[in-house]
Amino acid sequence: MRLLLDTQLVYWWQADQVRLPDSARQLIEQNDDAVMVSRVSQWELAIKTSVGKLRIDLPLFTEQVSVIGFSWLPIESHHVLQVATLPLYNDHKDPFDRLLVAQSLSEPLILLTTDARLARYGSTVRVVA
C-alpha cells in the first residue's frame, strides 16, 4: 500500500515520536511500498515557521525525509486541478489538507491523517488515532 503522510504525521515521525499514534507507526513500519511526503507539507511547515507558529530546522527536516527512507511527492498540475473537484465543507477549508487529499486521489495513495474531517473525502483517506 502506497502511503502519503499528512504534515502532522511526518512532523511527529521526525520530531515528536511520542505523539505519533501507534496505528500510524505500525502502518508506516510494516509498509512494503513507498511512503511519500508531499512538498505541500514542506510548504506548510515553511509558512508555519515563518509566522512563528512552529520552531523547526526546515533544511534538516527536508534532508531527513529522504534519509529515513521516505520519498518526496512533487506538486503537479493534475494535483492542483483535482483540488477544484473536491467538495467544500464549511468546517474544513484548509488549502494544504485539500491539496494532500487531491494528491491521494490523483496518484492514488492512501493519505494517513489524524484529522477525522478528511475521511469524508473518500476511500484514499485513512484516519489514524
The domain limits of the chain are 3-127
CA atoms 45, 50, 51, 54: torsion sign:
positive
* Cα diameter, the chain: 38
Give the distance, in angstroms, between the CA of residue 7 and the centroid of all CA atoms in the same chain.
4
| The CATH classification of domain 3-127, taken from the options 3.40.50.2020, 3.40.50.2300, 3.40.50.1010, 3.90.1200.10 | 3.40.50.1010
Bridge partners for 112 per DSSP: 5, 126
pLDDT for the residue numbered 15: 85
pTM: 0.95
Reported as a pLDDT band with limits 50, 70 and 90, residue 112 is very high
Bridge partners for 125 per DSSP: 111
Give the DSSP H or E segment for 126. Answer: strand 125-127
